[in-house]
């Protein structure tokens, strides 16, 4: 911004429109700017450049306070006081600054005690509070020096120095024999993923613990890695040394070791690391900026790769020439172990023997006598209060009742829904991890989810209530009137649900309810999005044909949970898969003129897949108007499966009916990797060949040909490879 102001003509008249517009954004920029790691003299230059905004009523004193803070970090108390007082320094200021035995923070505290100017004292106390906050309450985090890039220089090696705090949160035990820690961070660039950031540090940590702490080696954790600035992009692997050191500390602490380590809050770490724990170099071009980031901060020790120690010392030397009262110690390491061997960098915490014994007893649930007493207490409590864990995660239907269960399988609530709902919510395929007619969402953010369920049909009503309460938070009657000028028999407005799911699908911090249904008994299908807190309709999408199954899945790992639905398209007379982005649910599906719907534009589906009938289905085309995609479910972390029903062939008896079925396997990029057939399909295929109703061809060869007939919609035409809908691509630009 300062550079921009310098480019403007000095004439007040020509600058006026630009300055007026900047006043709208400047207060927010100043209040949220973190200038740690910046040279305070550079900050003062920016302050001088924006002093013109005082004439517009903008308080720019935050910049002066930031500059004074940075001078204090650099050991220049006199310069910090000069900025705050604008000159007129007392002799005691120089006396404090030139005393080498006084640590920097203590210099500041003595200045607070000896200052007689009320305004200056208040500013010094603010600086002290900023400093103390930075070095306190940081036992489970580490500080990483980083090089921040602006959007215009994101691909260059140059950038601005800064510090970023990283924490590892252990959420519980992992029971699959390995640590499950995921990185909650956005990653810039194709060479590095969030998995890359944590993979090597976890391996290095596990190797060190296995070698030095055999008892803790039996303990595996589940948790997450969190960067303090969750909106900032992260690039490269230079944070991995700090992540590994912190992860080691947290695993030892959570495994209830009597001795564990804690990285000191005045230590910053930079360096890549391999799986064996050896420290690798960081980009040499960024090293001076990382030294600068630590220099202009509360950090006292900067840990870095030993091979780059000389280069870092050269960068530090140029800084200390300018600010001679600052002491920053550089520590070069070649191995993760050295971080814990150097007592300047980490503290060895020893839990008192009685506390350690108490923690172990708690872990093993007390001696038998204490356990018996606890059992009695819990038994009486349960009779009165019910299960301690009231958070619902599952459900079960019995008779006309809906039983809401916690993760232990205990009933935490009972809701009468009637036999119609129970019969309509059957789900016999155990491979499908989905919720039918019931969802859970913590809409009031109190740690216990509310229940959202289909409470009735004809009319269909969706209710939401808290556990243990009788009165719903909201009720919503599901209705939608659609007009098809060429299908005048569609007159119903009752929405009959097929499935209901709840969650924060668009990753905005609020929960939504997604309901897939149909205008019974006619062809229109509708997918609706409701606000889970109020039941208010947020969006809906019209489909020309029923969508009978649903699967929520973040296909590309961007934090947005796509909504996958399958069914059939009446206009196209073929099975289909619809992929909706919950942020853009509007319009109608691909259709023909016969099925035009008034008042709706073409849809903004992320993707739309059309799956035609096989030769078997074509033979029975006079009995079956179209084929169906009946089921969609997870196969593994990168594959979902579609069960296709090609035809419904009547037999003399009910048990003689055949439903030739196929299984289509899709990757998360929507490419088809294979199609298998069920026994019914094989039998019918062979029978039709014997009767000469289809050409003789090896079934495997035919399925390879058939796979190539699957088509993808781009909003205008069909393709034989996955494509995105052009309207979706345009809509996506609005959020980028």
Q: What is the DSSP string of 284-303?
A: GGGHHHHHHHHHTSS--EEE
Output 74 or 712, whichever has higher pLDDT: 712
Question: Contact 292/146 with Cβ under 8 angstroms?
Answer: no
Q: List alpha helices for 265-397, DSSP H.
A: 287-295, 309-322, 337-341, 353-363, 368-385
The model's pLDDT over 625-675, given as tens digits with 9 standing for 90+, comes to: 889 999 999 888 899 999 999 887 765 545 556 788 999 999 999 999 999
Q: List alpha helices for 529-591, DSSP H.
A: none
Residues 6+ away with beta carbon under 8 Å from 666: 577, 639, 640, 641, 642, 672, 673
C-alpha distances out from residue 84 to 52, 90, 105, 129, 513, Å: 19, 13, 17, 16, 54
Q: Residue 169: what pLDDT?
A: 83
Residue 180, Cα to own-chain centre: how many angstroms? 15
- Whether 4 shows a pLDDT value over 60: the answer reads no
Using DSSP bridges, classify how beta strands 267-269 and 301-305 pair: parallel, antiparallel or unpaired. parallel
Using DSSP bridges, classify how beta strands 186-187 and 233-234 pair: parallel, antiparallel or unpaired. parallel
Which H/E stretch holds residue 208?
A: helix 194-212
Distance (Å, rounded) from C-alpha 321 to C-alpha 328? 13
Q: Residue 432: what pLDDT?
A: 41
Distance (Å, rounded) from C-alpha 149 to C-alpha 532? 38
C-alpha distances out from residue 60 to 49, 51, 117, 151, 371, Å: 11, 7, 21, 25, 63
- Whether 101 shows a pLDDT value over 80: the answer reads no
The model's pLDDT over 384-394, given as tens digits with 9 standing for 90+, comes to: 555 678 999 99
Phi, psi at 154, each rounded to 5°: -65, -25
C-alpha distances out from residue 538 to 84, 461, 585, 697, Å: 52, 17, 9, 51
Q: Residue 79: what pLDDT?
A: 86
For 194-215, letters b (16+ CB in 10 Å) and e give beebbbbbbbbbbbbbeeebee
- Whether 710 shows a pLDDT value over 80: the answer reads yes
**Among 23-37, 158-172, 343-357, 581-595, the range of highest mean pLDDT:** 581-595
Phi, psi at 471, each rounded to 5°: -90, 125
Candidates 443, 438, 364, 449; CA nearest to 397 is 438
- Whether 311 shows a pLDDT value over 70: the answer reads yes
- Whether 188 shows a pLDDT value over 60: the answer reads no
The model's pLDDT over 527-574, given as tens digits with 9 standing for 90+, comes to: 999 999 999 999 999 999 999 999 999 999 999 999 999 999 999 999
Residues 6+ away with beta carbon under 8 Å from 638: 667, 668
Q: Residue 487: what pLDDT?
A: 82
- pLDDT exceeding 90 applies to what percent of the chain? 37
The model's pLDDT over 469-514, given as tens digits with 9 standing for 90+, comes to: 989 999 999 888 899 998 877 777 788 888 899 999 999 999 999 9
Which H/E stretch holds residue 172?
A: strand 160-173
Q: Residue 369: what pLDDT?
A: 52
Distance (Å, rounded) from C-alpha 249 to C-alpha 267? 14
- Whether 309 shows a pLDDT value over 50: the answer reads yes
Q: Residue 365: what pLDDT?
A: 47
Q: Describe the chain by its helix, strand, coil percentages, rounded to 5.
A: 35, 30, 40
- Whether 14 shows a pLDDT value over 70: the answer reads no
Distance (Å, rounded) from C-alpha 514 to C-alpha 502? 6
| Model confidence band, residue 16 (pLDDT cutoffs 50, 70, 90) | low
Using DSSP bridges, classify how beta strands 711-713 and 607-611 pair: parallel, antiparallel or unpaired. antiparallel
Q: Residue 190: what pLDDT?
A: 41
- Whether 141 shows a pLDDT value over 70: the answer reads yes
Q: Residue 22: what pLDDT?
A: 61
Residue 660, both tokens: 């030739």
- Whether 151 shows a pLDDT value over 50: the answer reads no
Q: Residue 226: what pLDDT?
A: 83
Q: Which 3 state secondary structure label does DSSP give 713?
A: strand
Span of 416-425, 502-511, 521-530 with lowest mean pLDDT = 416-425
Candidates 440, 434, 435, 447; CA nearest to 413 is 440
Q: Residue 288: what pLDDT?
A: 93
C-alpha distances out from residue 39 to 81, 147, 563, Å: 16, 14, 49
Residues 6+ away with beta carbon under 8 Å from 719: 711, 712, 713
Q: What is the DSSP string of 63-132?
A: HHHHHHHHHHHTT-HHHHHHHHHTS---HHHHHHHT-TTS-HHHHHHHHHHH---HHHHHHHHHHHHHHH
Which H/E stretch holds residue 574?
A: strand 574-580
Q: How many CB atoms lie within 10 A of CB 693?
A: 12
Enter the pTM of the model. Answer: 0.50
Question: Contact 101/74 with Cβ under 8 angstroms?
Answer: no
Cross-strand bridge partners of residue 578: 565, 608
Q: Residue 431: what pLDDT?
A: 38
Q: Which 3 state secondary structure label does DSSP give 309?
A: helix
**Among 359-368, 519-528, 622-631, 723-732, the range of highest mean pLDDT:** 723-732
Using DSSP bridges, classify how beta strands 329-333 and 301-305 pair: parallel, antiparallel or unpaired. parallel
Average pLDDT along the chain: 83
| Burial of residue 729 (number of CB atoms within 10 Å: 0-12, 13-18, 19+) | middle
Candidates 166, 171, 237; CA nearest to 204 is 237
């Amino acid at each position: 911004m300062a550079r921009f102001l310098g480019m403007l003509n000095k004439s007040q008249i020509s600058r006026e429109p630009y300055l007026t517009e900047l006043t709208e954004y400047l207060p927010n920029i100043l209040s949220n700017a973190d200038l740690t790691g910046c040279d305070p003299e550079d900050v003062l230059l920016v302050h001088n450049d924006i002093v013109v905004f005082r004439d517009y009523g903008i308080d720019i004193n935050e910049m002066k306070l930031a500059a004074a803070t940075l001078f204090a970090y650099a050991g220049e108390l006199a310069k910090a006081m000069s900025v705050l007082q604008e000159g007129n320094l007392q002799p005691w200021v120089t006396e404090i600054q030139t005393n080498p035995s006084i640590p920097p923070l203590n210099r500041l505290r003595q200045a607070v005690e000896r200052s007689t100017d009320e305004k200056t004292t208040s500013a010094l106390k603010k600086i002290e509070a900023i400093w103390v906050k930075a070095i306190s309450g940081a036992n489970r985090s580490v500080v990483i020096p980083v090089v921040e890039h602006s959007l215009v220089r994101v691909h260059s090696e140059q950038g601005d120095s800064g510090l970023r705090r990283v924490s590892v949160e252990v959420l519980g035990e992992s029971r699959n024999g390995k640590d499950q820690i995921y990185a909650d961070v956005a990653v810039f660039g194709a060479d590095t993923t969030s998995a890359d950031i944590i993979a090597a540090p976890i391996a290095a940590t596990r190797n060190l613990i296995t070698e030095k702490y055999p008892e803790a080696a039996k303990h595996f954790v589940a948790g997450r890695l969190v960067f303090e600035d969750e909106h900032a992009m992260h690039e490269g692997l230079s944070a991995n040394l700090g992540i590994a050191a912190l992860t080691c500390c947290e695993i030892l602490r959570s495994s209830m070791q009597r001795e564990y380590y804690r990285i000191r809050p005045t230590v910053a770490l930079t360096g890549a690391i391999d799986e064996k724990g050896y420290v690798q170099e960081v980009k040499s071009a960024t090293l001076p900026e990382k030294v600068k980031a630590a220099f202009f901060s509360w950090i006292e020790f900067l840990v870095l790769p030993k091979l780059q120690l000389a280069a870092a010392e050269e960068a530090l030397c140029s800084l200390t020439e300018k600010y001679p009262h600052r002491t920053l110690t550089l520590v070069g390491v070649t191995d993760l172990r050295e971080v814990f061997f150097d007592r300047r960098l980490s503290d060895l915490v020893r839990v008192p023997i009685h506390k350690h014994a108490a923690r172990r007893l708690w872990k093993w649930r007390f001696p038998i006598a204490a356990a018996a007493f606890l059992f009695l207490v819990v038994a009486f409590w349960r009779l009165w209060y019910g299960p301690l864990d009231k958070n619902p995660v599952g459900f079960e239907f019995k008779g006309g009742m809906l039983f809401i269960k916690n993760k232990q399988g205990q009933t935490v609530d009972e809701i009468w829904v009637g036999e119609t709902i129970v019969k309509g919510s059957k789900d016999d395929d155990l491979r499908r991890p989905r919720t039918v007619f019931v969802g859970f969402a913590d809409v009031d953010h109190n740690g216990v989810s509310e229940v959202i369920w289909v409470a009735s049909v004809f009319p269909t009503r969706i209710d939401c209530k808290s556990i243990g309460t009788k009165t719903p938070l909201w009720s919503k009657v599901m209705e939608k009137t659609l007009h098809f000028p060429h299908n005048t028999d569609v007159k119903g407005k009752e929405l009959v649900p097929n499935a209901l799911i709840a969650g924060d699908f668009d990753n905005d911090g609020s929960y939504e309810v997604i309901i897939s249904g149909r205008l019974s008994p006619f062809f229109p299908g509708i997918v609706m999005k409701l606000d889970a807190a109020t039941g208010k309709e947020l969006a809906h999408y019209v489909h020309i044909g029923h969508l009978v199954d649903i699967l929520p899945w973040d296909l590309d790992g961007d934090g947005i949970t796509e909504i996958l639905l399958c069914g059939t398209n009446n206009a196209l007379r073929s099975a289909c898969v619809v992929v909706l982005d919950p942020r853009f649910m509007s319009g109608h599906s691909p259709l023909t003129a016969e099925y035009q719907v008034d008042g709706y534009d073409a849809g903004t589906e992320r993707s739309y897949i059309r799956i035609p009938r096989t030769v078997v289905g074509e033979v029975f085309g006079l009995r079956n108007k179209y084929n169906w995609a009946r089921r969609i479910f997870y196969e593994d972390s990168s594959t979902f499966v579609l069960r296709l029903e090609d035809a419904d062939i009547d037999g003399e008896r009910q048990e003689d009916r055949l439903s030739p079925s196929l299984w289509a396997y899709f990757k998360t990029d929507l490419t088809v990797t294979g199609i298998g057939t069920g026994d019914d399909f094989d039998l019918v295929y062979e029978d039709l060949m014997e009767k000469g109703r289809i050409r003789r061809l090896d079934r495997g060869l035919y399925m390879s040909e058939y796979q190539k007939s699957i088509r993808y919609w781009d909003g205008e035409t069909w393709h034989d490879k996955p494509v995105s809908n052009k309207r979706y691509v345009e809509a996506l630009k609005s959020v980028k």
